[in-house]
Chains A and B, each alone.
Chain A
Amino acid sequence: MPVKSLTRRSEISQKIVKVALAGCPNVGKTSLFNALTGTKQYVANWPGVTVEKKEGVFTYKGYTINLIDLPGTYSLGYSSIDEKIARDYLLKGDADLVIVVADSVNPEQSLYLLLEILEIEKKVILAMTAIDEAKKIGIKIDRYELQKHLGIPVVFTSSVTGEGLEELREKIVEYAQKNTILHRMILDYGEKVESEIKKVENFLRDKKLRINPRYFALKYLSGDPEFYSEGVKLGLPELSEEERIGYRLLIAKRKREYVENVVKEAFADAGSKSLSLSEAIDHVLTHKFLSFPLFFALMYLVFKFTFDIAQVFSDLLDLLFSQLGSAVVNTFGENAFTSLISDGIIGGVGSVLVFTPNIFAMFLALGFLEESGYLPRAAFVMDRIMEKFKLSGRAFMSLILGFGCNVPSIMATRAIDDPRERLVTILITPFISCSARLPVYLLILRIFFPESSAAMLFIIYSLSILITLLSSVVINWLFYRGRTSPLILELPRYRMPTLKNLYIYTWNRGKHFLKKAGTIIFVSAILIWVLSYFPAAGDIENSFSAMIGKSLEWIFKPFGYSWKIVTSLFYGAVAKEVVVSTMSMLYGFEEETFLGAKEALSAEMDPVSAIAFLIFVMAYIPCFATIATIYSETGSLKWTLFSIGYSLSIAYVLSLIVFYVGKLVVMLI
């Protein structure tokens, strides 16, 4: 039965329908998922963003519809992990219905995937997305022709305007009530392939299969690793590689011809031969000579926006927290409790929260570039350079997610086909400066480089990319000697980012920072306050924190860092923002205001040791969450330990070099 019943405690019976959303990468599956379920999953205008199944629920006409957003896949073969997740669910999952999402402007590849899904004999609805954009550029789609050729319901939708969403909900419920699929797709693959299919089907007649015999035969003949080995195990003859490739090409060719015919019959474009807006923009932004400097110019604007524009709001927050801390002490007097509130909680958590405007500003700017469709072009532009560092533009796309947080960046490597490149990308990702490190940079830059903070921030981020890329060369040199696989990337259309999508992008990423401030940093702040207040009742020089810092001080002796800085780095291993909250607390104990604490910090460091400190923070040990993700994604303790050891060594050596070279330059000047 396609519709299941669930009896709740209240004895209200509800009908549940499980619906899978499948489609090629970047056709708008997640946008449709958000529009149907009212959730705010992260959407981006580039392929490979959804790398795992996501579930959402909505109710319609008494039905509870469980929607599963699958990672994008171009076909039901499998090469990368995310594609395998989609394929496995479609072949073995328990979906009652599949919505194949196709881009109305570029439907060919989506229709190819649709044919494959129809061959599994699932109940399918075709949702043509971005219908508003198709109309805008003069593409006309004949729904009758599409339905006639494909034999399934077709719905035109737009996640931006909301067009067709109600109709889609209606169709889901209507189709789920039916017990049989509306149309069996049986493509004629020509005499040679069809006779082989018949032979295989006859052989499989008595066998117990989890899938229809025709689909099994097609996959077996085209040499799909899973079906081919299963077929051979069942007693089907082994095929030579040439035979398998031959069948695969014949099957793919017939599908392509069918799709071409459907597109010819059902789609009519405006027939313009002039450059489209996307082509015109691409002509400049992917220009042979201009593309690279323009990429850096745009990235500089991102950092200018992050620092120079948002800084005034950050300073206002800083002022607010300073006055709040002073008000607590002035009202309740100086004692252990007020010290916990003003130094521990307001000082510790507040010192991190003041950077909220900067972090949201950075995500807003990056979101604009991503939503507009520029970032995949950046991957394309960077591919030429990435190749020299034994990586591809695909790795660059994963790495760029790391500016927000390294955890999703590591998860996004699932979209990389080559296992070598995937592992290397995972291991180098911690060098990409995540938003957790931004508060540390901003704090130090504000104190030591107030006039050129945006430029310095840009240099630090550029350096972090450089170290990331050089690390790829080192790891490849140490463990692999392979070639990089070429980047094949479907570039999305340029589009004006909508305010709604920008809001979702910025909020989804920024809230992670706020959540951390309310959880990890809050708990850490209290723990650090306890360790810094006791056992000497506020005498910080004799606290537990001082003991920890002083015992590790020798490691940083060449830099001349005090135990307070060492302790901040030690606690910062949990999460990088903790470096700021620890500094704020350790220096704040002896000072009445944050400004005083900052002056105390500037008395212990000079600009050169401050830069060395920033380099160390940029590269040293991944945070706990990143370490756990590296372990779960590589499944190897060896690589996880390597990542920790390697990043610590690089951080130490690099900051030491910067420190001594910097001192030398200052001496010479």
Chain B
Amino acid sequence: MNILMFILTLISGILYMKIDLLFGIFLGVVSLVFLAGQFEISKEKYHAHMFVGSIIVLFFAGMSLLEYLTGFLRPILGEERITLSAGHYTLFLTGLVALFMIFKKRMRSE
């Protein structure tokens, strides 16, 4: 599963670079957490990478969603709303998968 999250986060990062370069680069950095997890021999450490990486991805997705939602207030200031692009959609999807992974890990630990 680490490899799936790595690919999804990396694609989100690349697509997001068009919207916000640094944000995209840092998403790329986060994808390395999953990549490093793939090489862990211990099962627990493998899951640790998945869990922590997913939490951070969720932060990134949440931030992007918040930015989009606060954009609804922009018309009051005479500005345009934020339009969603492929970067947003991919990140939201990755965020949903990350949320699922976090719950799965929590269920396992309980």
Contacts and interface: CB of A to CB of B under 8 A. Distances in A.
Interface string B59-87: 11001001100110110110000000000
A231 B22 CA distance: 63
B36 interface: yes
Interface size class of A (residues with CB under 8 A): 20 to 34
Contact of B48 (A275, A296, A309, A455): A275
A298 interface: yes
Given A284-B49, A290-B32, A277 B26 contact: no
A312 B49 contact: no
A289 interface: yes
A312 B77 contact: yes
Interface stretch (A180-188, A299-307, A531-539): A299-307
B18 interface: no
A601 B21 CA distance: 28
A290 B33 contact: yes
Contact of B44 (A275, A290, A308, A309): A275
Given A280-B51, A458-B22, 17 more contacts: A275-B44, A280-B44, A280-B48, A281-B52, A284-B52, A294-B30, A297-B56, A300-B23, A301-B26, A304-B23, A308-B67, A312-B70, A313-B73, A315-B77, A316-B76, A319-B77, A454-B22
Interface string A310-326: 00110110010000000
A512 interface: no
Contacts of A290: 32-33, 36
A301 B60 contact: yes
Nearest to A292: B29
A395 B22 CA distance: 28
A374 to B, nearest CB: 11
A296 B26 contact: yes
B109 A277 contact: yes
Contact of A312 (B37, B51, B73, B109): B73
8 contacts: A280-B48, A283-B48, A283-B49, A287-B36, A301-B26, A316-B73, A316-B76, A458-B22
B71 A312 contact: yes
A35 to B, nearest CB: 28
Interface string B15-34: 00000111100100110110
Rank and list the top 7 A-B pairs by shortest CB-CB distance, nearest first: A280-B48, A284-B52, A297-B26, A293-B29, A455-B22, A275-B44, A283-B48
Contacts of A315: 77
Contact of A297 (B30, B37, B66, B77): B30
A259 interface: no
Nearest to A285: B52
A274 interface: yes
Contacts of B33: 284, 290, 294
Nearest to B45: A283
Contacts of B45: 275, 280, 283
Nearest to B67: A308
B53 interface: yes
Nearest to B60: A301
A316 B77 contact: yes
A281 B45 CA distance: 9
Contacts of B56: 294, 297-298
Interface size class of B (residues with CB under 8 A): 20 to 34
A119 B20 CA distance: 61
Given A290-B32, A312-B77, A455-B20, A280 B67 contact: no
A305 B74 contact: no
B38 to A, nearest CB: 13
Nearest to B52: A284
Interface of B: 20-23, 26, 29-30, 32-33, 36-37, 44-45, 47-49, 51-53, 56, 59-60, 63, 66-67, 70-71, 73-74, 76-77, 109
B21 A455 contact: yes
Contacts of A301: 26, 59-60, 63
Contacts of B36: 287, 289-290
Interface in A435-478: 454-455, 458
Contacts of B21: 455
A284 B63 CA distance: 21
Given A275-B44, A304-B63, A316-B77, A280 B70 contact: no
Interface string A15-59: 000000000000000000000000000000000000000000000
Interface string A261-282: 0000000000000110101110
Contacts of A300: 22-23, 26
Contacts of B30: 294, 297
A454 B74 CA distance: 17
A166 B77 CA distance: 52
User: Most chain-A CB neighbours within 10 Å: which of B26, B29, B33?
Assistant: B26
A498 to B, nearest CB: 18
A105 to B, nearest CB: 16
Contacts of B22: 300, 454-455, 458
Contacts of A316: 73, 76-77
Contacts of A284: 33, 37, 48-49, 52-53
A280 to B, nearest CB: 4
Nearest to A277: B109
B71 A305 contact: no
A310 B24 CA distance: 20
Contacts of B60: 301
Given A301-B60, A312-B71, A316-B76, A293 B48 contact: no
Contacts of A458: 22
Contacts of B63: 301, 304-305, 308-309
Contacts of A287: 36
Nearest to B73: A312
Given A297-B29, A301-B60, A319-B77, A309 B70 contact: yes
Contacts of A312: 70-71, 73-74, 77
A301 B63 CA distance: 8
Contacts of B76: 316, 319
A285 B55 CA distance: 12
Nearest to B47: A280
A217 to B, nearest CB: 50
A287 B56 CA distance: 15
Contacts of B26: 296-297, 300-301
Contacts of B44: 274-275, 280
A369 to B, nearest CB: 10
A284 B105 CA distance: 15
A49 to B, nearest CB: 24
